[in-house]
Structure 1
Amino acid sequence: MIAAGTDTTAETLEWAMSLLLNHPQSLQKVRSEIELLVGHDRRLIQFSDLCNLPYLHSILKETLRLYPVAPMLLPHESSQDCTIAGFHVPRGTILFVNVYHIHRDPNMWEEPKSFKPERFMEGATTSLGYKIMMMPFGMGRRSCPGEGLAMRLMGFALGAMIQCLEWRRLGEEEVDMEEGAGMTMPKAKPLEALCMPRGIII
């Protein structure tokens, strides 16, 4: 489980930081949330703080919605003959879930291609329910057993990166968000950015 989560966690953090560099207002908003909770230059973020950082969690959820690390999830196999949306699916058929498309379906999401972490904040509503539509880790009995661990580790890592470092793009151009190919979904061009230590770690 730890080995399987290494690349996927790193890729998600890279996508998240790329999105934040292209949306500096969100970067400042989550930094303010962290500083409001732990104090300015007082102490480093801790695991126990994560439950009180809703905007940080919303950024991770929105990142996973836009760039799920397993865009087709893992293959499943039908255990019996069935009919889905008028299509006959014989027993033993290998099935893939196109979660990338589901997460960007305009019938389910407002402005599906836009980075809007606020859509996951408490009080934000949708007629179909965001929780049901979000499945970057799969759903049901065969969903990823490491979901809880991954979300905690990514929340802690991203929070620490934001709290401890000032981030800047290399120039005026936005970070390239082209998707690479593979079983997971890395960036086509690795993130390059400028980072400088903040007072909390100096």
Structure 2
Amino acid sequence: MRLKPAAPLLAPHQSSDDCIIGGYDIPRDTMVLVNAWAIHRDPKMWEDPTSFRPERFEGLDANAYKLIPFGPSEELVDMSEGTGLTMPKAQPLEALCKTRESMINVFKEL
């Protein structure tokens, strides 16, 4: 999803104070648009940014909500882009919920 976001720009933000972003002076109350598409492909932030390399996240001390696993099927997912302003997928993604084994006891206690 990093390389194929649902939209190229994040929701508009507003600066709460004067600040500097990327060397530019941004006055308070300025609308700021973040280009997520470009950030996710920035070679300064990611080594080999356009390659699918899940091993780059191994060993990170990350909270579970940051790296949620998905796509356990062996079938390739069509991530090609369709047409439109929000970068829709050519074939819409389908989410299927499945309880993790570790959560079964938690649900039994509810």
Whether TM exceeds 0.5 here: the answer is yes
Shift of 1:80: 2.3
Distance in 2, matches of 1:179 and 1:168, equals 17
Distance in 1, matches of 2:79 and 2:6, equals 17
- TM-score for both structures, normalised by structure 1: 0.35
| Residue identity opposite 1:181 in structure 2 | G
Name segments (4+ residues, structure 1) moved above 4 Å.
Answer: none
Shift of 1:79: 1.5
Hey, what does 1:89 align to over in structure 2? 26
User: Contact conserved, 2:18 with 2:26, CA < 8 A, in 1?
Assistant: yes
Unaligned segments of structure 1, at least 5 residues: 1-63, 124-130, 132-147, 170-174, 192-202
The structure that is helix-richer by fraction is 1
Distance 1:78 1:167, change over 3 A: closer
Q: Report percent identity of matched pairs.
A: 45
**Which of 101, 104, 115 is the aligned partner of 2:41?**
104
- TM-score for both structures, normalised by structure 2: 0.58
User: Contact conserved, 2:81 with 2:88, CA < 8 A, in 1?
Assistant: no
Q: SS at the partner of 1:88?
A: strand
Distance 1:110 1:67, change over 3 A: same
Q: Which has the higher contact order (CA 8 A, sep 6+)?
A: 1
